Amino acid sequence: MRSDEVRLAAAAERLRVSGVTRVESYAWRDLDDPDAGGSELHADQIFRRWTAAGIDVDHRTSTAEHARSFERNGYLVTQRGGRLDVFARVIGRQLVRRRPADTATIEIWNGVPWFGPIWARRRRVVWMHHVHREMWDDALPGPLSAVGRWLETRFAPLWYRSSTFATLSESSAAEIRRLGIPPEHLHVIPPGVDERYTPDPGRRSATPAAVVVGRLAPVKRQRLALEALAEARTAHPELTVEMIGSGPERQAVESWVSANEAADWVRLRGHVTDDELLDAYRRAWLVVSASHAEGWGMSLTEGGACGTPAVATDIAGHRGAVVDGETGVLVADDRLGPAIADLLGDTDRRELLGAAAVDHARSLSWTAVAARHLELLADAVS
């Protein structure tokens, strides 16, 4: 048994000795939601390992269709309530029911909190991947976005100052501390990288190529990425781009491709299989992200594990996923195009960054991540 597996088993035993054999998790979206992203993948990777270690997990989320419960990767998924009313449903139910003594809680705070301190004062950990701030403008119209921002940054933190928090990066932790969460209650646990992501230099494209991976949504700013890549093509006219992912911005991205006559160099691939994603990372010379809010740039670390360095916006969630100047380059929005062009034209530097990115990714294991989160929950329980 590997050391991270031993650590996970020991954390599970600690939890059982404390009288907890079951975990309830509350998240806005589930992995099979059309808009699912890194947060949903993060929960699945951890819960499947907790279940394998003998902890029962019930993952409670909203649904865009009918209510249902089913098993995924060993844990129970319960989908009930719509995108907006799921919070009121959960909070109302929790206020009137008696919480089982053998149950601990994971509260995944994705913009709107579940107000766990009211109904689960003990045996609870909050996962908060990043502060949404500007994302509220993308999600809701003016007055409502202001309410959402106030709820997240002003009102809700007043209830959470004695809660245990876990986040993905030091830069995200700094944002959360600015909400008033005490540093001693805040723990940084980076996400893992799946073992299937490995280099294969023989698959690298013979001509300049970039890949953009992520849900097609306003916060990801794929059109800004395309504008930067178009700028880089003035120096590298053979550059081609694969854009992987689906979501509400699909039509807007398609319109950009059409308006800019870019169909000969931009390929919109939508949702792809795991093997197809791996091949895309291995083919590319660069992974590009123009996102303006992330908990952790998962695509940047996955691409890095394949030896593909990143060029990305210099935001909280990208610092950590990319070690600036060592595994990739982080720049301001208006420097994306020149940075892409420079790195495409410098083979030696690109190879050095790619080798360092592989080493960086190898330090991350989903089993080790699951063990650290379970240890944190055991600490909160005890």
DSSP string, 212-267: EES--SGGG-HHHHHHHHHHHTTT-TT-EEEEE--STTHHHHHHHHHHTT-TTTEE
Integer Cα distance of 283 and 205 in angstroms? 5
Determine the residue type at 101: A
Give the per-residue pLDDT at 204: 97
Please indicate whether residue 44 or residue 82 has the higher confidence score (pLDDT): 44
Whose tokens are 């989160």? That residue is 373
User: Could you tell me the pLDDT band of residue 180, with boundaries at 50, 70 and 90?
Assistant: very high
Tokens of 310: 């990143």
pLDDT at residue 35 tops 80: no
pLDDT at 49 over 70: yes
> pLDDT tens, 291-334?
988 878 899 999 999 999 999 999 988 988 999 999 999 999 99
What is this structure's pTM?
0.77
178 pLDDT above the threshold of 90: yes
Q: Which residue has the tokens 């806005």?
A: 28
Instruction: Using DSSP, state whether 318 is helix, strand or coil.
Output: helix
Instruction: Tell me the mean pLDDT in the region 215-235.
Output: 95
Highest mean pLDDT among 152-156, 216-220, 222-226: 222-226
* C-alpha span between 23 and 10 (Å, rounded): 17
- For β-strands 75-79 and 68-72, DSSP reports them as antiparallel
Which domains occur in the chain, in start order?
3-192+365-381 (3.40.50.2000), 201-362 (3.40.50.2000)
